[in-house]
Amino acid sequence: MTAIRHFGPTATLPDGQRNPLTHAVRAGDFVFVSGLMSKSADGQIVTGSIAAQTANVMQRLTAMLAEADCSLEDVVKVTAWLTDREDFVAFNETYASFFTGAMPARSAVRCDLLLPGARLELEAIAYKPLAA
């Protein structure tokens, strides 16, 4: 088995150009998931409430983790960027609804995001030892 493996579809920007990143990378026992925004399968921003965008991002995160043989239970660290501090409470409610056990460590920051319409970007680190 290769020590480093890349997962996920080819990343694209809303204008269809290739986004120079890999969605998820397994390096040994760790999986690093790139910042995910609320997007459709064709790379378009899915607008709407912060709850809707958070649900979309968490569903995308779940799918990326599954490709690397992980789940949300394996997530140890999350970083979230929100464009509006008023979204924090609704973000927290939706985010928390995706976890059943202990929550991962997390940082959340208010900032501008690069793609118009995106209200949230989220990245994660998971830990799941490879089978020996």
pLDDT reading at 2 higher than 60: no
Query: What is the pLDDT at residue 11?
Result: 77
In order of their start, the domains of the chain are 4-127 (3.30.1330.40)
Residues in a beta bridge with 75: 126
- For residue 39, give the DSSP letter: B
Pick the range with the lowest mean pLDDT from 12-16, 65-69, 77-81, 116-120.
12-16
Of how many residues is the chain composed?
132
Gyration radius of the chain over CA positions: 14
User: 59-108: per-residue pLDDT in tens?
Assistant: 999 999 999 999 999 999 999 999 999 999 999 999 999 999 899 999 99
Query: CA–CA distance from 96 to each of 36, 54, 68, 80, 88 (Å)?
Result: 17, 10, 22, 13, 12
The answer to pTM > 0.75 is yes
Give 132's pLDDT tier (boundaries 50, 70, 90).
low
User: 20-29: per-residue pLDDT in tens?
Assistant: 888 899 999 9
